[in-house]
Amino acid sequence: MRVVVCIKQVPDTTNVKINPETNTLIRDGVVSITNPFDMYAIEEGVRIKEKLGASLTVLTMGPPQAEAVLREAISMGADEGVLLSDRAFAGSDTWATSYTLAAAIRKMSDVGLVICGKQASDGDTAQVGPGIATHLDMPQITYVRKIDELTTDHVVAERLLDEGSEVIRSPLPCMLTVVKELNTPRLPSLRGKMAAKKAQIVVWGAKDLDCESAKLGLEGSPTKVVKIFSPPARGGGQMLAGEPADVVKQLVEKLRDVVIATAG
Amino acid sequence: MSNEPIKVSAEECVGCGLCVKKCPFQAIVLKDRLAVIDLTKCTLCGACAEACKFDAIEIKEKKAADASVMAEHKDVWVFAEQYEGRINSVTYELLGKGRELADTLGMKLCAVLLGSGVKDKAADLIARGADIVYMVDRPELAYFQDEAYAATLIELVKRHKPNIFLCGATTLGRSLVSRVAVTAHVGLTADCTGLDIDPATKNLLQTRPAFGGNIMAMIISPNSRPQMATVRHKVMKEAVPNPARTGQVLVETVADAILKTRAARIRFEPEAGTKVNIADADIIVAAGRGIQKSENFAIIKELADTLGAAVGASRAAVDAEWIPYSHQVGQTGKTVCPKIYFACGISGQIQHLAGMSSSEIIIAINKDPDAPIFKAATYGIVGDLFVVVPLLTAEFKKILKR
């Protein structure tokens, strides 16, 4: 069985700001990392590989430099990295991204599980995982926090919903999105680092995939970004000073109306 | 026609560099007095084409949509999320916003209600502004199942062709509607905090935060219908119920095959020990490293119980296993947007701020006057949370007479 983990290279983190004068993103000094949620997906993939002897493929879409996240995943224990990189993919929204990733997964043999992080830290949409599952007509279990059982034909996993936790059984192949509670990602071993250095990254473009060009990149993306801008600045905060009992009284007075309206 | 989605005309471009400055993604450089676009960075946002005074940048226009197909799609739809027959309050917020959008467009507002034994909830949705309630009442829909719910919505969308379809950006909603949008090949914008109608094109203008709230993006889905969006909880105002309102309840039947599901529930365990869930709480009392140990959460819980609030936590407190992950606020936890957020002993790492900075009022209580949380706070108190929090509980008990 093959496990495919889909990952994304994102700017380290939320340090991205807009220059208010030019209205452009300030990316100076911002390094790229593997999306934090994807680290749990990679770790789970490695554990499954170790337990079941599955093969583990990591898959990403992005510019050539995105191969760095594939090498990091290989250093943690992934067998193979596949990079989808092509000008035809430029301008992809979540629809076109999930379409392209799904086309790449379709090309791989013996896929039993597709694992994605819950969401990416730059876009925060959480749409690509379920999107891939839909394109591949796979069942899905989202927000997985524990895998109870996994064989070559089914998975039993526990997912975290707002009201509680739900245990779901699904036949394979199945798509999972995972949350932080699932595991603690390992640090790469020295051997892993060597393997990552030497690994040949497989690069696929649009021609390598069985897909319709009208469904790729800008053309295949139903959404369009009209503009980006800075969020309205928060009003300056107020520090309350004095003896604790006085400060608390001041604060309670300020919150009184809101608290009575919501809690009262 | 070239296959490049965006190109610079070498004849028109004078190398003025205006586009280089305007590009939000630093995707343009000047080479030999010609703008060169790095497609791996370009998102085709169009800022350069707009800035160019020489019409030198051309963005490939997508095939215009078939106007008659677009015009077939009427009405504003709201997905009525329910759990055990209780309507999630985000539904009322969507009905409030949906009513405005429907009135602006001269369309009907419709709610879509899936469940089992939920017939009596339809009147509630009409009272909150729905003109029509499409209801599918089947035992298979008693609780949320990704495939059955998605397939049912896809069927209803095909049947009735809505123009706009809104859903709460809840755990359930995010898992559900991506499947609908992918199947229908329509645009879906996640986690919107603003929705408006463009007066000229009648397109839905969808505003959402990205990069952990550091940037806002405005997004349209100009060539496909329905225009789908998930909307963040607690941002829009709830529709006020008017029991005198009238509307239609349309019971929809769907084929058994649509309700089939492969990934099936074995069991469900409601979250124990928490009365209020952080995703839809009006008030959250959260603690971080400063709370020091698990038992100390008792004072946080007491303040929360007094206020009818949920208990939140920073990553530090969750990683120390003082409180379960379901309480974690921030980049690797949940994004919340309550009316009041108490940050007690939370330093305010950027990853935490990403999850709560859009709260209406933020109260920071921290011993360290230089803690970054104070920069995000509406009101800050430099002090010991073990002194301040119990005092707050006592004062609030007085005004709430508890």
Cα→Cα distances B116→A161, B78, B140, B175, Å: 19, 18, 7, 20
Answer whether B267 sits within 8 Å of A167, measured CB to CB.
yes
Angstrom distance (rounded) from CA B144 to CA A220? 30
Residue A132 lies in a domain: yes
Answer whether A140 sits within 8 Å of B175, measured CB to CB.
yes
Which chain A residues are within 8 Å of B221, Cβ to Cβ?
A: 222-224
From chain A residues 164-193, the ones with a CB under 8 A of any chain B CB are: 164-171, 174, 179-181
Q: How confident is the model at residue A223 (pLDDT cuts 50, 70, 90)?
A: very high
Name the residue with higher pLDDT: B13 or B50.
B13
> What is the CATH number that goes with domain B67-259?
3.40.50.620
Q: Tell me the CATH number at A206.
A: 3.40.50.620
B65 secondary structure, DSSP code = P
Which uninterrupted H or E stretch holds B102? Answer: helix B89-105
- The predicted-structure confidence for B114-126, as pLDDT tens digits, reads as follows 999 999 999 999 9
Mutate to test the interface with B, among A8, A9, A12, A14 (most CBs of B within 10 A): A14
Q: What average pLDDT score do residues B124-146 get? A: 97
Answer whether A162 sits within 8 Å of B171, measured CB to CB.
yes
Q: How confident is the model at residue B1 (pLDDT cuts 50, 70, 90)?
A: very low
Query: In DSSP terms, which residues pair with A61 in a beta bridge?
Result: A84
Residue A57 lies in a domain: yes
Domain B6-59 in CATH 3.40.640.10: no
Answer whether A160 sits within 8 Å of B326, measured CB to CB.
yes
Q: Say yes or no: A62 contacts chain B, CB-CB below 8 A.
A: yes
CA of B194: which chain A residue's CA is closest?
A231
Which chain A residues are within 8 Å of B218, Cβ to Cβ?
A: 225-229
Answer whether A229 sits within 8 Å of B175, measured CB to CB.
no
Angstrom distance (rounded) from CA A170 to CA A44? 17
Cα→Cα distances B306→A135, A140, B102, B389, Å: 48, 39, 39, 12
pLDDT score of B357: 86
| B341: helix, strand or coil | strand
Which chain A residues are within 8 Å of B3, Cβ to Cβ?
A: 87-88
Rounded to the nearest angstrom, the minimum Cα separation between B248 and chain A is 31
Query: In DSSP terms, which residues pair with B8 in a beta bridge?
Result: B57
Angstrom distance (rounded) from CA A195 to CA A74? 7
Q: What average pLDDT score do residues A156-182 get? A: 95
Question: Between B176, B216, B354, which is nearest A228 by CB?
Answer: B216
Answer whether A124 sits within 8 Å of B378, measured CB to CB.
no
Q: How confident is the model at residue A237 (pLDDT cuts 50, 70, 90)?
A: confident
Answer whether A258 sits within 8 Å of B340, measured CB to CB.
yes
Which chain A residues are within 8 Å of B171, Cβ to Cβ?
A: 142-143, 160-162
pLDDT score of A27: 63
Answer whether A169 sits within 8 Å of B147, measured CB to CB.
no
Mutate to test the interface with B, among A16, A122, A226 (most CBs of B within 10 A): A226
Handedness of CA B96, B98, B100, B102 (dihedral sign): negative
Domain map of chain B by residue range? Answer: 6-59, 67-259, 278-400
Q: Say yes or no: A233 contacts chain B, CB-CB below 8 A.
A: no
On whether the CB atoms of residues B345 and B289 are closer than 8 A, the answer is yes
Residue A86 lies in a domain: yes
**Cβ contacts of residue B356 below 8 Å, gap of 6+?**
B284, B286, B312, B329, B330, B335, B336, B337, B341, B343, B362
Q: What average pLDDT score do residues A88-105 get? A: 96
Angstrom distance (rounded) from CA B214 to CA A231? 7
The phi, psi pair for B341, rounded to 5°, reads -125, 115
Q: Is the pLDDT of residue A42 over 80?
A: yes
Q: Is the pLDDT of residue A208 over 70?
A: yes
Residue A38 lies in a domain: yes
Angstrom distance (rounded) from CA A223 to CA B214? 21
Q: How confident is the model at residue B63 (pLDDT cuts 50, 70, 90)?
A: low
**How many domains in chain A?**
1
Q: What average pLDDT score do residues A121-133 get? A: 92
What's the domain range around A55?
A: 2-215
Q: How confident is the model at residue A235 (pLDDT cuts 50, 70, 90)?
A: low
Question: Between A126, A168, A252, which is nearest B266 by CB?
Answer: A168
Angstrom distance (rounded) from CA A30 to CA A34? 13
Q: Is the pLDDT of residue B24 over 70?
A: yes
Angstrom distance (rounded) from CA B377 to CA B215? 19
**What is the interface pTM, i.e. ipTM, of the complex?**
0.91
Rounded to the nearest angstrom, the minimum Cα separation between A224 and chain B is 5
Cα→Cα distances B71→B42, B61, B74, B163, Å: 32, 21, 7, 9
Q: What average pLDDT score do residues B149-174 get? A: 97
Answer whether A16 sits within 8 Å of B211, measured CB to CB.
yes
Answer whether B211 sits within 8 Å of A161, measured CB to CB.
no
Q: Say yes or no: A263 contacts chain B, CB-CB below 8 A.
A: yes
Angstrom distance (rounded) from CA B400 to CA A256? 9
Angstrom distance (rounded) from CA B243 to CA B124? 8
Runs of H (alpha helix) within B185-322 = 297-307, 315-319
Answer whether B83 sits within 8 Å of A163, measured CB to CB.
yes
Residue A253 lies in a domain: no
User: How many CA atoms does the CB half-sphere of B257 hold within 13 Å?
Assistant: 1
Mutate to test the interface with B, among A255, A257, A258, A260 (most CBs of B within 10 A): A255
Q: How confident is the model at residue B40 (pLDDT cuts 50, 70, 90)?
A: confident
Which chain A residues are within 8 Å of B65, Cβ to Cβ?
A: none
Q: Say yes or no: A13 contacts chain B, CB-CB below 8 A.
A: yes
Q: Say yes or no: A131 contacts chain B, CB-CB below 8 A.
A: yes
B278-400 matches B67-259 in CATH topology = yes
Beta strands in chain A (DSSP E): 2-6, 9-11, 17-19, 24-26, 32-34, 55-61, 80-84, 111-117, 140-150, 154-160, 164-171, 174-178, 202-204, 224-229, 238-240
| B119: helix, strand or coil | helix
Angstrom distance (rounded) from CA B43 to CA A94? 13
From the list A63, A216, A24, the residue with the least C-alpha distance to B60 is A216
Q: Is B66 buried (19+), middle (13-18) or exposed (0-12) by CB count in 10 A?
A: exposed
Between helix A36-52 and helix A67-76 the angle, nearest 10°, is 40
| Range name among A127-141, A218-232, B83-97 with the lowest pLDDT average | A218-232
CATH of B278-400 given 3.65.10.10, 3.40.50.300, 3.40.50.1220, 3.40.50.1110: 3.40.50.1220
- Widest CA span of chain B, in angstroms? 76
**Cβ contacts of residue B119 below 8 Å, gap of 6+?**
B135, B137, B249
